[in-house]
Structure 1
Amino acid sequence: MKRLAAIVTLLGLATATAACSGGPTNTSSGTGGGGGLFTAIDVLKPGLDASGPANPWAPKGNSFLGYNAMKLGWTKNHLTDPNQFYPGIAASWEIAPDNSSITLHLQPNGKWSDGKPVTADDVKLSIGLAYTTGSTAFSTTPGAAGAAADVQVVDAKTVKVTQDMSNPSAKFARGVMDNWVVPAHVWSSLLPADFWEKLKTSRGTGDAADKAREEILALGQKVLAFAPPKDISAGPFVLERVNPGEALLLKNKSFYNAANVVPDQVKLLNFGGNEQIWNYLSAGKLDHAGFTAMPTDVMNRIKQAPGSNVIKGFSPVALGLAFNQTKKPYDNVHVRRGLAYLIDRDQVTKVASPEGGTPAVTTSGIHQKPAQEWIGPELSSLEPYKHDVAKAEAEFKAAGLKKTGGKWTLADGTPWKMTMHAPAGFSDWISAEENIKSQLVDNGVDAEVVTVADYPVYLEELAAGKYDAGLWLMALGPAPYDIFQRLYGASNGWTNVAGKVAHSAPGKAGNWMGGKEEIDVEGVGKVNPGELTAKLNAVSAEEAKPIMAQLAKAANQDLPAIQLWDYVNSQFTNTTRFTGWPEQDSDVLRLPAGVWIQLGMVKKKQ
């Protein structure tokens, strides 16, 4: 799993405790261009830390994605292809037909904010830093899928990165492009002179290799803590200052596309939760805010603000109610199916996420929109689990449950109470579980909702097997392996190392779902879903489709989770001060507004 912040940002549900206070704003132009002030929130940065460094790896750093923090490229929001990008530090690239390498051509006139050119040495140094923090393509884990085998500086503006084809990944190029780039003349002291030799040693076996890996990962602590004396940015803006209420960035005159960057300044406001963002939007204070969960009445209030503009598009993620099958009665598939019939997904979505989700048509493990591309006609053959109390009761009885005095009990007469957990501050998740609780109680299933301190604690306790059931992000596209590893990956016992799939027993090595290692799927036969999922890591899109269909049938029949809703990505902009916003369903909608600005999309309203 990638950084927690990335997952939180995916939903726009990041929370923090710091209050927002209005700080002074620099009203002078950064370049004299008259482009004005652009005001937004960065969903990666709730609770601004005024003492945080301008360090993109620091958990509480003041590097803001797309504004002063740059990556090699920016991933397009494509339904099925993870390897489509907009230019970033790289102006263009070539991906080998067999996906064995990617050659990067850097922006010809790319410069840092201190005027020095962005070079291949900067990229190689940044890749070295990525190894210390466990980046996907730059992992030191032996046999990791999609890991780089070599990084070659071809010339001052060209870098070639080669994949280790012993365990290839179809999204290798994405793993390379999705990396920070920082100036070598500021950061080079963090890597020892023998780093690349040490990295080579780490790829072997034995004590020397183990020691080299430990030393490389130990460097990561230095990288996370590093505080540059000042922000040296290759992005469209440079950090000027941060206080508890806001971060102020000024236009970078040395940015490669500075002529098309309109705002002179960017102010990123602090926030402590969804409600604060709602208030900003209702008051018309923000030119942009990313996805934020909200009920319909709040959306209607926001739409009344002068210039308010809502842009909606595809978001490759769904929300499921996942089960710990080591706990009774959730080890019985009939109980899981009974709950699927009993829970009215339309009602849950209407209550909890009416503006940010659409009720799942069924549990397939895939978001409805790309499901049409991946499995096509197979989707209509899946059991829809439409709300049906009679079918739910039949499934409960098939599981041996008993109904006495209007209450369902376990087969031995023991009371059954379904306990669901959710992290505090996730308003839509809590609303969803409260609604599910009401539905269950109304139909004789005792239920309760327990909130935990925050999302990190929630994930930690979920992985430790402490919960009966909890909400779980699933269907994380566009890469097919990523979609199904949420159901049939490490959380359900399967790991893929060096191209070999291993399965851990329930309760071991992070296996909290505790599903069966083999499933007899109707119309398919016996399958090992973890092994099928692992195959998706290296096959072509066409080769993936029949595998995806089998996994969709397995998920639909076995129900390790009940797919509740598929997310809709709602972005909030304001047309009062700026125009040029992306169109509905644009493939830039999952990128921050800083990327829209650097690509020259955003214009000053005349």
Structure 2
Amino acid sequence: MTGPSRRLVLAGLAAVPLAARHALADIAPAAPVRGGQLIVGVFPEPPLLTSAITTAGATQAVSGKIFDGLLAVDLDLKPQPSLATSWEVAPDGLTLTFKLRPGVTWHDGKPFTSADVAFSALEVWKKFHGRGRSTYANVTAVETPDPLTAIFKLSRPAPYIIAALVGAESPVIPRHLYEGTDILTNPHNTAPIGTGAFRFVQWERGNYLVLERNPTYWNQPKPYLDRVIYRFLPDPAANMNALETGEVQLITSNLLYNDIGRLIQNPEIEAVRRDSPYSSTVSAFELNLERPLFQDLRVRQAFAHAIDKDFIVKNIQYGYATAVNGPIPPDMPEFYTADVPLYPFDLRKAEELLDAAGHKRGADGVRFTITHDPAPTGPIYLRSAELIRDTFEKIGVKVVIRNQDFPSFLRRVYTDREFDTIHYGAQTGPDPAIGTQRYYWSGSFARGVAFSNGSAYNSPVVDKLLLDAQAELDPKVRRDLYVRFQQQVQIDLPRIPTVAAQAVVLKRRNVKNLVTTGDGVLGNFADVFIA
């Protein structure tokens, strides 16, 4: 496959100016125009390009353009055909039958078949995906009676699985390129072959990534864009400036929240907000429970009382977030409860708890020292880390902030386990069994699996609540199980939820049809065009 030269790529980094009114807006469908390229300013740079083996948001944002899922989801969050044209759930919930789309080919020309689905589900999603380890825990087999039929067999019902089968969450990967290899180090993780709307062309590390239109895409005449280019801009001010000058046309991450109001005064720029369970996130201060210090509940409670969530909302995220007190955010109302133990910001209470735990101040006023690794995904977590450092100092805890690139952060936390505390945000939806369970279920703890049970929390009570909720078909009973789960983990405090961020992206107004599916900018961009 041939692609554009570096000169051609950089020559395309300019947008066509146009006049329009400014607003915090959604995107209305418009008549598509073929051609052109979309330049996206992002950071961090993705560690891999397939979200089949990682839940890293930077990877998901790209992977969904290259790979398809069995299903898609519309703006009303109803499942729609994708690689599967139809599906049927047995009355007992133990069998899911998918009829697959004929004539679909991988980007290398090989045919897509049910064997790819079975391999992806059993050998990849179920084993290596941070959410998939719990999402597909009840899947025991995938039968393939013919090349266009895949039958999932379950040990217990799993009513949430349908919601997990979108391309960004559960991409089907090519068995012929992965079978018999080390899945985690396969070279196609960084030079992927998918069935999706765009094909991988070029990745210049630290600079840009280029995707081009898949001319044999099964959903013709889509996609409309000729090319999607991702520019990796670690400085959020430079990222915002690039949008303002037209060097990029879309920013999906690494925003300066305090600058959004000024930027959308520009009539050529708008902010797009699209909240849905697919974009629900909760940031949390997570503790490594393998450290003896954090095995004392009083220490965890003290930390919870010493984190000023309201300050983070007002002065770090500038109102584009909500303080939260539990693992499920308010924008998932069918599961959320406010009836959980609360830990209001109270430094005196934090000191009392540390005294009771036997951690007295030394001559220098310090009780103990911990390391803190903020997620290297933009300024939010670094500024929050500085706040936590300064606040914890007041209760006699010295915090040493460590910075690293994104792959090093993932390796330190999830493989080497060489950390005390971290602060990061990740998806909690579209269903608690998909997004939230992985942080608390003991079965999701596995070295090398990113964004899973990083605290190494193990509670038989919580495990049972989660597994029962996974399989429960009665919505009322299921909600009650998740309410009890939220209450119990807020008693145990393996991680301290801090804020739920709003899903906001910035774009040039000539970028049309950006959000036409329920997974938003994680979707395939097949409908996007440049006016």
**TM-score, length-scaled by structure 2:** 0.75
Q: Which residue of 1 aligns with 2:465?
A: 532
- Structure with the bigger RCO (C-alpha within 8 Å, sep 6+) is 2
Structure 2 residue matching 1:270: 3-state secondary structure: strand
* Cα deviation 1:465-522 (Å, max 9, x = unaligned): 4333222546722332345534422xxxx228xxxxxx99xxxxx987365746xxxx
Structure 1 pair 434–297 and aligned structure 2 pair: CA distance change class (3 A): same
Task: Tell me the amino acid that sits aligned with residue 340 of structure 2.
Answer: L
Change (3 A) 1:532 1:592: same
Measure the CA separation in 2 of the matches of 1:590 and 1:308: 17
Which whole-Å CA distance do the structure 2 matches of 1:536 and 1:557 have between them?
19
The residue that corresponds to 1:145 in the other structure is 137
| Counterpart-to-counterpart distance in 2, 1:256 and 1:454 | 37
User: 2-side partners of 1:321 and 1:284: how far apart?
Assistant: 36
Q: Per the alignment, do residues 96 and 573 of structure 1 end up closer, same or farther by CA in structure 2, a change over 3 Å counting?
A: farther
Residue 23 (structure 1) aligned with residue 1 (structure 2): no
The question of whether the paired residues in 2 share the 8 Å contact of 1:569 and 1:590 is answered with no
Aligned to 1:564: 498
1:168 and 1:538 in contact (8 A); partners too: yes
* CA distance, structure 1, for counterparts of residue 494 and residue 424 of structure 2: 11
CA shift digits 1:225-258 (9 cap, x unpaired): 4999xx9875444556666765555545544443
Counterpart-to-counterpart distance in 1, 2:190 and 2:98 = 28
Task: Describe the SS at the equivalent of 2:502.
Answer: strand
Which residue matches 1:419? 371
SS in 2 for 1:340: helix
1:131/1:217 contact within 8 Å kept:
no
- 2:98 — aligned with what? 104
C-alpha displacement of 1:572: 2.3
* Structure 1: segments with no counterpart, 5+ residues: 1-18, 28-32, 192-215, 410-414, 497-502, 505-509, 519-527
1:460 aligns with 2:407: no
Cα contact 2:72–2:165 (8 A) shared by 1: no
With over 3 angstroms needed to count, the CA separation of the structure-2 counterparts of 1:355 and 1:23, relative to structure 1, is farther
Residues 277-334 of structure 1: per-residue CA shift (max 9 Å, x gap): 33332323333332x1333333345424442121122432211112234545433322
- Partner in structure 2 of residue 591 of structure 1: 522
Q: 1:124 aligns with which of 114, 120, 138?
A: 114
Greater radius of gyration (CA): 1
- Pairwise CA distance, 1:406: 9.4
Q: In 1, distance between residues paired with 2:289 and 2:463?
A: 16
Structure-1 residue corresponding to 2:81 = 87
Aligned pair count?
A: 489
Root mean square deviation, CA, Å:
4.6
Partner of 1:162: 152
Q: Does structure 1 retain, via aligned residues, the 8 Å contact 2:38–2:227?
A: yes
One-letter identity of the residue aligned with 1:289:
I
CA deviation after TM superposition for structure 1 residue 86, in Å = 3.6
Distance 1:479 1:253 in 2: 34
The residue type paired with residue 461 of structure 1 is R
Residue of structure 1 equivalent to 2:243: 281
For residues 147-226 of structure 1, the aligned pairs below 5 Å read: 147-153=139-145, 158-165=148-155, 168-174=157-163, 178=167, 179-181=170-172, 190=177, 218=181, 220=183, 224-225=187-188
8 Å CA contact retained: 2:65, 2:197: yes
Q: CA deviation at 1:359?
A: 1.9
Q: Give yes or no for contact 2:350–2:395 (8 Å, CA) kept in 1.
A: no
Distance 1:401 1:233, change over 3 A: closer
Please state how far the C-alpha of 1:39 moved relative to its aligned partner.
Answer: 1.2
Q: Aligned runs of 1:360-379 on 2, under 5 Å? A: 360=324, 362=325, 364-370=326-332, 372-376=333-337, 379=338
| Equivalent-residue separation in structure 1 for 2:330 and 2:384 (angstroms) | 20
Structure 2 residue ranges without an equivalent (≥5)? 1-5, 15-31, 447-451
Aligned residue number for residue 476 of structure 2: 542
Contact map agreement 1:342 1:392 (CA 8 A) in 2: yes
CA contact (8 A) 1:475 1:486 kept: no
Corresponding residue number in structure 2 for 1:358: 322
Task: Give per-residue Cα distances to partners, 1:87-141, cap 9 Å, x unaligned.
Answer: 3223333333333233334457x6559998x9xx623242255268522399999
Whole-angstrom CA distance in 2 between matches of 1:171 and 1:393: 43
Q: What is the rounded CA distance, in whole Å, between the counterparts of 1:468 and 1:240 in structure 2?
A: 39
Q: String of CA shifts for 1:435-493, please: whole Å, max 9, x gaps.
A: 1111222x24232232243333333333444333222546722332345534422xxxx
Q: Distance in 2 between matches of 1:226 and 1:389?
A: 46
- 1:383 corresponding residue in structure 2: 341
Cα distance in 2 for partners of 1:431, 1:69 equals 35
TM-score (norm 1): 0.66
Correspondence for 2:38: 39
Q: Measured at CA, do residues 159 and 222 of structure 1 come closer, stay the same or move farther in structure 2, by a change above 3 Å?
A: farther
What letter corresponds to residue 150 of structure 1 in structure 2? V
> Are the structure 2 counterparts of residues 549 and 283 from structure 1 closer, same or farther at C-alpha, using a change threshold of 3 Å?
same
What's the offset of the Cα at 1:432?
0.8
Q: CA 1:176–1:421 in 2, change beyond 3 Å: closer, same or farther?
A: closer
Distance verdict in 2 for CA 1:66–1:470, change over 3 Å = closer
* Counterpart position of 1:488: 440
